[in-house]
Amino acid sequence: MFSKAYSAAIHGIDGLIVSVEADVSDGLPIFDMVGYLGSEVKEARERVRIALKNSGYMLPPKRITVNLSPADIRKEGTAFDLPVALAILTAFGHLPEEKLKDFLIIGELSLNGKVNKVNGVLPLVYSAKQRGFTKCIVPKENAKEGAVVEGMQTFGVSTLKEAMELMQEKEKIQPESIDMDAMFGQSHKDDIMDFAEVAGQKAAKRAIEIAVSGMHNILMIGPPGSGKTMLAKRIPTIMPELSFDESMEISKIYSIAGFLGSKPLITKRPFRSPHHTITTTALVGGGIIPKPGEISLSHLGVLFLDELPEFQKNTIEVLRQPLEDKAVTISRLNASYRYPAGFMLVAAMNPCSCGYYPDRNRCNCTINQVKRYLGRISNPLLDRFDICIEALQMNYKELQIQEQQESSKDIRSRVSLARQIQLERYQGQNIYFNSELTPRAMKKYCKLEAKEQTLLEEAFIQMNLSARAYHRILKVARTIADLDQSERITTRHLSEAICYRSLDQKYWGE
C-alpha cells in the first residue's frame, strides 16, 4: 500500500514543503529510504524502526520504501523522523490515508518513541501556512513556536503514540495557543538596562540618538573604561519596539539557528556582540550546512564589534557587502541561501594600542604607531561609518554629579518620531532610513539653501574633506533635522553633522 505525509525542510530562512511517500509491498524484508538524503536523514531508518517497535507497533516483514520528494533537493536534519513513521503506519493501514494530507508533520524520534525538539519550526510552519496547510504536528517543546503563526492549528506531541491518537481522533487534543499581547507587553518591563544609568557622555549619547534615528553606523573611539561598551549595550533600548512582522522575521532566523530557547518569539531587538576572535563564517554565516551568522542574528538590531582593530582584517572586510545589500547570499554547489542582514553596525575602538592617546602623560605611542593602529581598519570600511564619536573618560568628580539623566524611554519617543517622519517621506521608494539614501534621492531630500551651501563649501575647503564625506555629512544632517522635526536643513544641523563626520586617516593624530 502507498501513503503520503507532508513535512518541510529548511531552505535559507524559508521552509520548503517535502512530501514523505511510503510504500509497502511484497518482497525481501528491507527498509529503504531514498530522495537525496543527508546522513542524519538516512539514519532515520533505524530510529523509526525501533521507535515503532517500542511504541507497540509490529512491522510485518515486508519491503518498505520511503521517498522524500522533491528528490533532487538535499534534505538535512532530523525533523523527518515523525512523518516517516506516520507514513509507514498509514501504509500498513493503522491510519486512514486521507487523514495525513491535512497535516504538516515535524519531529525527531527517540528510540523509545519520544518526540524530540528540532530547530527551525517557526519558518517551517510559517511557509506551510502560506502553502495552504491549516494543521500541523510539532514536538511539544516547539509547539509555542508554531502557535505564533496565525490561522494555523498547532498540535504539540511528546510521543509517537500521542501523535497516532491525535490522528485517530481517539482523544481530543487542543491546539496550542499563545497570548501575543502579553508577550510583547512584557518584553519591555524586563529591560534592565537604561540610558539613565550612563553618567555624562552627553556628546556620545546625542550621537547615538542620531545614529539610531537614521540607522547610521557609528564608530566610538575612546580610552579603556570610558563607557563605550556600556553605551553600546543600551542602544537597543532606544530603538522603536518591534512590530509583529519584524519579530517574526527575526524569530525565523533564530529558530533556524536554534537560538530561540524556551521563548516562542523574539520580542526584543537583538544585540549581538561577537568576540574579536570570531571567524568569517561565524560572522556572515555559512558552513557545510549553511547557517545564519552573527550579522543575520542581529538583523533589525545592533551588531556591536568591540575592539574593532583586533578583529581579523579579512573577517571585518566581509561586512562591506552585507552593509550595502542588507542581506547576505551564501552560495553552495546545490543551492544558494539568502539571509537577511539589516543591522546597525556599532563599533568601538581605542585611539592607539595603549589606549590613552592624546593624553601624553599616559600614552607613549609614537604618531606612527597611532596611525598604524588606525590603519588596521581599511578605508572602505571606515567609510561605512556615517558617524564617529570620541568617548571621553569620566573622572571621579563627573561621575559623582547627581544630574538627572534622560531615560531610554524619553529618547525612544524622539527616535520613533524621527523614524516616522522618514517612513512617511520615503513611502513607496524602497527607502526606510536616511542612511539608505542614494545620491540621487539626496538631491531631492537634502536640499541646502544658500547660507548652508556656503557653510558646507567653507568647511570643505578648510577641512579638506573628501567627496565621500560630503554625502555622509548630508545624510546625517538630514537625520538631525528630522530629530528636530524641521523640514529644512539649517546651519546648526549641518554643523553638528560635520562634527560627527567620519574618520579621515589624514587627520588622525598630528
Q: Which residues contact other proteins (rule: CB under 8 A)?
A: 200-203, 206, 221, 351, 357-358, 360-361, 364-368, 388-390, 392, 398, 455, 458-459, 462-463, 480, 491-492, 495-496, 498-499, 503, 507-510
Are 267 and 184 in contact by the 8 Å Cβ rule? The answer is: yes
Question: What single-letter DSSP state applies at residue 238?
Answer: G
Residue (346 or 503) nearer to other proteins, CB: 503
Residue (10 or 421) nearer to other proteins, CB: 421
Residue (357 or 445) nearer to other proteins, CB: 357
Find all residues with CB under 8 Å of 161, minimum gap 6, and list them. 55, 56, 113
Smallest distance, other proteins to C-beta of residue 501, A: 9
Residue (196 or 455) nearer to other proteins, CB: 455
4 beta partners: 21
Smallest distance, other proteins to C-beta of residue 234, A: 18
Question: What does the DSSP assignment read for 266-328?
Answer: --S--EE---TT--HHHHHEETTTTEE-HHHHTTTSEEEEESGGGS-HHHHHTTHHHHHHSEE
| Pairing relationship of beta strands 14-25 and 2-11 according to DSSP bridges | antiparallel
Residue (1 or 367) nearer to other proteins, CB: 367
Question: Which H, E and C letters describe 40-84, residue by residue?
Answer: HHHCHHHHHHHHHHHCCCCCCCCEEEEEEECCCCCECCCCCHHHH
Cα→Cα distances 408→76, 111, 197, Å: 44, 51, 10
Q: How far is the C-alpha of 87 from the C-alpha of 97, rounded, in Å?
A: 9
Smallest distance, other proteins to C-beta of residue 209, A: 10
Smallest distance, other proteins to C-beta of residue 391, A: 9
Smallest distance, other proteins to C-beta of residue 486, A: 12
Are 64 and 14 in contact by the 8 Å Cβ rule? The answer is: no
* CA torsion through residues 142, 147, 152, 156, sign: positive
Smallest distance, other proteins to C-beta of residue 475, A: 17
Smallest distance, other proteins to C-beta of residue 245, A: 34
Q: How far is the C-alpha of 204 from the C-alpha of 206, rounded, in Å?
A: 5
Residue (200 or 286) nearer to other proteins, CB: 200
Residue (242 or 489) nearer to other proteins, CB: 489
Amino acid at 94: H
Residue (161 or 206) nearer to other proteins, CB: 206
Smallest distance, other proteins to C-beta of residue 232, A: 17
